[in-house]
Chain A
């Protein structure tokens, strides 16, 4: 079984996993980081989005072994003492209901700002949420939260 080492949320971690072990399985089962969720099996819902080397990826479609030597950030790692502005914006704008898609939404939103800047139009946000499905909110308040959170990042 391959040994993998990576930096997850600033901590050096290592462990053995199978070739087929997905990053999301490694995070949830080996590291106990259960904030990253699995909502589908076809790489579409985005509940599993994390950042690998600063870019948002779907942890359900990423092999853990392929992340050997990578820097991984999960929802558990974005708050730095106080809440990340995007987390705070989701709370303030009621951008979540059941909370299941929320970690992936927040990780996608942070990546969106990193890619497109702090001034995000509603159209851009809606378009860039193509890879994140929410069943509760109708996206209305998610869009508002991302717009507001972006400004504060």
Chain B
């Protein structure tokens, strides 16, 4: 790891000022991605601005929506009674991220801002029509995830909280990479009633995305069998030693069916 200046600002305003004044500063929340990346010398920031405390931890959960402050850890989300009650699929997803020690440190804001193609939370954002609130604006999830490790976030823009719409029913089905346990394919299916059905896929391509064909098929018939008619193309799928593109495409269908089945 190259050396850097470490900062722990009191609030987001101060964080932004430090970032702005630094040569090549980066915000760090839980550090579960940034620290390993720096250790591998794939990132060499001049300054690391630790915003976990500034972003804060906190959850508000109601029948219709769940609002989570950006510095909230995955473990906190997974074990939160309000989320378990009003949006159990989201709590379940948080409980599948990484391992217990990673869940104790990693935060929702960090995960979303990083947009790792194999991360779990981006699929939740898309399936649960999330609004991603930053220090500057509110961004719809549909417009947030732009591609491989790319998001709509601008320089010095920091996520402060994420607001999820609770679906009437829904589930996240994850096929973990056997080695890393990141999502090799993860599919989040959410039925929002009048507001429609959302199907979000992660791990399969360069960024989490919605599968509109599956959404259409499930709108007509919310049953696993409805997905038999949807052909998932392997063209855009990731291809590596653990899963070929055609296998990943196949898994998208299987995981989607399982998510529908688990949605009850």
How would you classify the secondary structure of chain A's contact residues: helix, strand, loop or mixed? mixed
* 26 examples of A-B residue contacts, CB within 8 angstroms: A2-B6, A18-B3, A19-B4, A19-B5, A19-B6, A20-B1, A22-B35, A42-B36, A43-B36, A43-B102, A46-B99, A55-B105, A56-B101, A57-B105, A61-B32, A66-B6, A66-B8, A66-B31, A68-B8, A108-B101, A111-B100, A111-B101, A128-B100, A130-B100, A131-B98, A131-B100
Q: Judge whether B181 is part of the interface by a CB distance below 8 angstroms.
A: yes
Determine the interface band of chain B, counting residues with CB < 8 A from chain A.
Answer: 20 to 34
User: In whole Å, how far is A137's beta carbon from the nearest beta carbon of chain B?
Assistant: 18
Inter-chain contact B6/A58, CB cutoff 8 Å: no
Query: B104 to A56, Cβ gap below 8 A?
Result: yes
B100, A108: Cβ atoms under 8 Å?
yes
Give the Cβ gap from B5 to chain A, nearest Cβ, in Å.
Answer: 6
Contact B104 A63 (CB under 8 A): no
User: Do the beta carbons of A61 and B104 come within 8 Å of each other?
Assistant: no
Set of chain B residues within 8 Å of A134, measured between Cβ atoms:
none
Query: Once the chains bind, are B35 and A61 in contact (CB under 8 Å)?
Result: yes
Chain A 65-84 interface mask (CB, 8 Å, partner B; 1/0): 11010000000000000000
- Chain B contacts to A: CB under 8 angstroms: 1-6, 8, 31-32, 35-36, 38-40, 48, 50, 52, 75, 79, 98-102, 104-105, 180-181
Q: Give the shortest distance, in Å, between B47 (CB) and chain A (any CB).
A: 8
On whether the beta carbons of A55 and B38 are closer than 8 Å, the reply is no
Contact (Cβ within 8 A) A41 B39: yes
Closest to A2 in B: B6
B201 to chain A, nearest CB (A): 23
Inter-chain contact B31/A63, CB cutoff 8 Å = yes
Residue ranges of A at the interface with B (Cβ–Cβ < 8 Å) = 2, 18-20, 22, 41-44, 46, 49, 55-58, 61-63, 65-66, 68, 108, 111-112, 115, 128, 130-132
Of all A-B residue pairs in the complex, the 4 with the closest CB atoms, nearest first, are: A131-B99, A19-B6, A130-B99, A65-B6
Query: In angstroms, how far is the closest chain A Cβ from the Cβ of B138?
Result: 29
8 more contacts with CB within 8 A, not counting A19-B5, A130-B181, are: A19-B3, A20-B3, A20-B38, A43-B32, A46-B101, A65-B6, A65-B50, A111-B100
Query: Which one of A43, A65, A112 has the greatest number of beta carbons of chain B within 10 Å?
Result: A43
Quick check: B36 and A61 within 8 Å, CB to CB? yes
Q: A20-B3, A66-B31 are known contacts. Are A49 and B36 too (CB-CB below 8 A)?
A: no
**Shortest Cβ distance from B2 into A: residue:** A20
Compute how far the CA of A56 lies from the CA of B75 in the bound complex, rounded to whole angstroms: 11
B38 nearest in chain A by CB position? A20
A128 CB contacts on chain B under 8 angstroms = 100
Contact A131 B101 (CB under 8 A): yes
Chain A residues near B99 (CB, 8 Å)? Answer: 44, 46, 130-132
Given contacts A19-B3, A131-B98, contact A57 B40 (CB under 8 A): no
CA distance A49 to B102 in the complex (A): 10
